[in-house]
Amino acid sequence: MHTIIKPRRGVAQLNLAEVWQARELLGFLAWRDITVRYKQTSIGVLWAFIRPFLTMVIFSIVFGRIAKLPSDHVPYAILTFTALLPWQFFSTAFADAANAVVGNGYMITKIYFPRLILPLASIAVGIVDFLVSFVILVFMMIGYRMVPTWRVLALPLFFALCLLFTVGLGLWTASLYVKYRDMRHIIPFITQFGMYVSPVAFSSSIVPARWRFLYSLNPMVVVIDGFRWSLLGTTQLYVPGVIAGTVTSIVLLVTGVYYFKQTERVFADVM
């Protein structure tokens, strides 16, 4: 094994092989975050089910019963939950990934490992939470006797899109956060404000057609519509929007990885 240490100039080398080699560390860090979260809680892992379930109940009451938003002829609870699934994944995984570098600053100044592992581990934790919530959805759909069509096969693709977007935005924010601590105030803003501009509590069918393309530049719009389309079959898929959202996500991801690699060389110095 031969290591060369010298100043990096120009465009950063991605060196993704190194990240792959450190996948066990990624697993351990994700496992640590999950284990620690439920240690010392009396009902432990049950919290993973309670949180999304309660949010769904509250949404159904506030928006479905009180505000009477249209629900595209499916039970409002299901309409909300299909959106909450990807949204909660995005908001928690994004916020954790954005905090991952600064939050683990002490490790960064003491030992070397591929820095990309930190935000990726946070996102891995989010995936586990997502899978748990998904089980609730399955039970709800059984309860409402809803049978998904062949479209459900497209669901992993929409989740993949959600993942790309979360990683991309997470990496951008995580590296900016190291340099600009203002990010601390911007991160909760993105997760809170983002929920109102994404069709979580309502169906995107209420958005006027001429705004539809612009609206789809937010990849979460495409993801949520995609979840509803593949699980409920109610929402029409707006193809130009799907393309717009996918392109946005890919651009964010590619630039995000590069920006992260470009700035990681100074992480330890400014930490």
Partner 1 sequence: MSDVIIAEGVSKSYRLGEQTTAYGLLRERIAQAFKAPFARQQPANQFWALKDVSFTVGSAEVVGLIGKNGAGKSTLLKILSRITEPAEGRIDLHGKVSSLLEVGIGFHPELSGRENVYLNGAILGMSRREIRRKFDEIVDFAEISKFLDTPVKRYSSGMYVRLAFAVAAHLEPDILIVDEVLAVGDSAFQQKCLGKMRDIRSEGRTVIVVSHNMGTVSSLCQRVIWLADGKVKAAGEAQAIIRQYLSEGVKNDFVWTPRHGILSAFEYHSVSIESGDAAGGGEGFPANAPIDVVFDISIHDKFPDGRIEMRLQTDSGDLLLTSTSADATGQMNHDWKRGRQQFRCRIPADFLMPGRYFITITEPYGSHDIVRENVLTFSVTEEGSLSARDQRGGKIAPRLQWRLTQLTTDNR
> Which chain residues interact with partner 1 by CB under 8 A?
1-8, 24-25, 28-29, 32, 35-36, 39-40, 106-113, 178-182, 265-266, 268-271
Residue whose CB is less far from partner 1, 27 or 143: 27
Buried b (16+ CB within 10 A) or exposed e, 249-262: beebbeebbebbbe
CB of 22 to partner 1, least distance (A): 8
Residue whose CB is less far from partner 1, 10 or 208: 10
As a whole number of angstroms, the distance between CA 236 and CA 246 comes to 17
CA nearest neighbour of 91 among 176, 161, 169: 169
Residue whose CB is less far from partner 1, 121 or 164: 121
Alpha-carbon separation of residue 90 from 48, 61, 83, 148, 247 (angstroms): 16, 23, 11, 24, 18
Residue whose CB is less far from partner 1, 25 or 140: 25
CA nearest neighbour of 133 among 55, 48, 195: 48
The number of C-alpha atoms within 13 Å of 257 and in the hemisphere containing its C-beta is 16
Alpha-carbon separation of residue 205 from 97, 159, 165, 198, 229 (angstroms): 31, 21, 23, 12, 12
Q: CA angle, 205 as apex, 199 and 208 as ends, to 5°?
A: 100
CB of 180 to partner 1, least distance (A): 4
Q: Are 179 and 263 in contact (CB under 8 A)?
A: yes
Residue whose CB is less far from partner 1, 35 or 42: 35
CB of 266 to partner 1, least distance (A): 8
As a whole number of angstroms, the distance between CA 40 and CA 51 comes to 17
Residue whose CB is less far from partner 1, 6 or 73: 6
Residue whose CB is less far from partner 1, 113 or 258: 113
Alpha-carbon separation of residue 41 from 35, 36, 37, 130, 145 (angstroms): 11, 10, 8, 20, 34
CB of 175 to partner 1, least distance (A): 12
CB of 29 to partner 1, least distance (A): 8
CB of 140 to partner 1, least distance (A): 33
CB of 115 to partner 1, least distance (A): 10
